[in-house]
Structure 1
Amino acid sequence: MQRAGLEIVGDRRPESSLSTAADYMWFEDRFPDLAEAYCFTLVHKLTPSEVLQRLDGRDEPALTGAEAVVEAAFGLSQQSDGKRQLIAMTAMGPWTLLIEPNGYLGVTEDRALPASAGTRWISHFVNINGLDSFLWAEDSVRRLWFEPIFPDHRWGTTPDELLDVMHNIGFHFGEDSPETDVSPLAAFALAQHMTGVAITPELLEGTTFTCCSAEVR
């Protein structure tokens, strides 16, 4: 395992082209409903159908665009009395992207850690109350977990592996208290650094997502 900034996870952008929180400033303006509460997860070398199996999910109708996904997610939550969570998935090279509007299964360790067996699982979450978390799991082991708004406090088997990158991406450490909190956007940039997968407006607007739902435990 090499040091942060080099190829320590695979399919990672080189340090010279490091994305930062500033590259995701569009997210809240372009997708305000999704930005209120979400979980984005990237899973390495598993297809959407394989992820569905690992989460004990069931198929749901495919949907095009984030707006339709958000609407369907809230509809499913109401219909199931909050007992099922919609997950929109699409393959992106060797990774599968999962989007959960108002969801959190991707950062729930009793679901994510078993699902990461034999692979890598990168997930970040924000809810409407301002709670957030970032999880890097690999082969059922928690490599890194932290709250993006409080990056000084990190847990896992390699909590400092990405520390230099985190500083450069835009997380705020120590006494640094900026007027605008960009920690959720920095989480997108960190996930991109670790996977090579960029989340773009065009991806969120134009993709037809394979959808499933999973039980909320």
Structure 2
Amino acid sequence: MVTDPCAEFRWLDGLWAGDIYCASFVRDLSPREALTRFKTDANTIEEVTYEKVCERAAAGQEASPRALPGYIGAVEVGDWTLIVEPFGWGAAGPDVRARVSRGTEIVVITRHGYSTQEFIHEIDGETITYFDLIAPELRWGSDPNRWADAMREVGLDPDHDDSMGPHPDFGFANVFALASKITKIHLSEDVLGRPFLGAETIEK
């Protein structure tokens, strides 16, 4: 019997509403500290629902001349904090992830319908493994092969050869399954029903 190594994450394939979304896992930081490192306005930190995070981000994007959402959310999951950026990609920026990962580590997943879609693992400001989701065989970082075996296990071919045919189909369930190999978090759908901390970002 063949089992799906990404089955518990399939619900995430339908979560990514819109063209742009970023999810990050930060180890050993509280949601409040993680939001602070993202350079949010401390005076705006408040308890909100996940739905409210998405609503505020959508409204911020519409009001921003640069189409930046200006609002993010955070929730504690085990020893990690999950940061969600609907319509945003702040954590993918090298300065942001270096700042957020100082003394700890961060795993970043971005979706961007018309630009780079990334998977990044960074420890204390050092990029360990980075790849674009459309070409997981093209990796860089100080240890680009650290998660190669885990990538194979979740259906992201780290050795793909374009001459042999197209990449196997995959969804964001596969990418979150890879993140789970690093964080040891088994992300269930009920996490979105927990109270989040939300805040306005300083850059809008």
Q: Fold conserved (TM > 0.5)?
A: yes
| Residue of structure 2 equivalent to 1:94 | 79
Q: Any idea what the Cα deviations from partners look like across 1:14-33, whole Å, max 9, x if unmatched?
A: xxxx983443222233x352
| Residue of structure 1 equivalent to 2:12 | 27
> Partner amino acid for 1:33?
A
> Partner amino acid for 1:126?
R
Change (3 A) 1:104 1:171: same
| Aligned counterparts of 2:132 and 2:94: Cα–Cα separation in 1 | 14
Q: Over aligned residues, Cα RMSD in angstroms? A: 2.3
| Aligned counterparts of 2:64 and 2:23: Cα–Cα separation in 1 | 22
Change (3 A) 1:50 1:110: same
| Aligned counterparts of 2:21 and 2:141: Cα–Cα separation in 1 | 23
Counterparts in 2 of 1:1-217, with a 5 A limit?
Answer: 20-29=5-14, 31=15, 33=17, 36-58=19-41, 59-65=44-50, 67-81=51-65, 82-129=67-114, 131-172=116-157, 173-174=160-161, 175-177=164-166, 181-204=169-192, 206-216=193-203
Q: Which runs of 4+ in 1 moved over 6 A?
A: none
> Partner amino acid for 2:178?
L
Q: Tell whether the 8 Å contact from 2:73 to 2:198 is kept in structure 1 after alignment.
A: yes
Structure 2 length-normalised TM? 0.85
| Aligned counterparts of 1:32 and 1:151: Cα–Cα separation in 2 | 20
Structure 1 length-normalised TM? 0.80
Structure 2 portions without partners, runs of 5+: none
Q: Tell whether the 8 Å contact from 1:19 to 1:193 is kept in structure 2 after alignment.
A: no
> Partner amino acid for 1:79?
A
Percent of pairs with identical residues: 25
Q: Any idea what the Cα deviations from partners look like across 1:94-148, whole Å, max 9, x if unmatched?
A: 1111011111111111211122110011111001226310111101111111012
Q: What SS does structure 2 have at the residue aligned with 1:152? A: coil
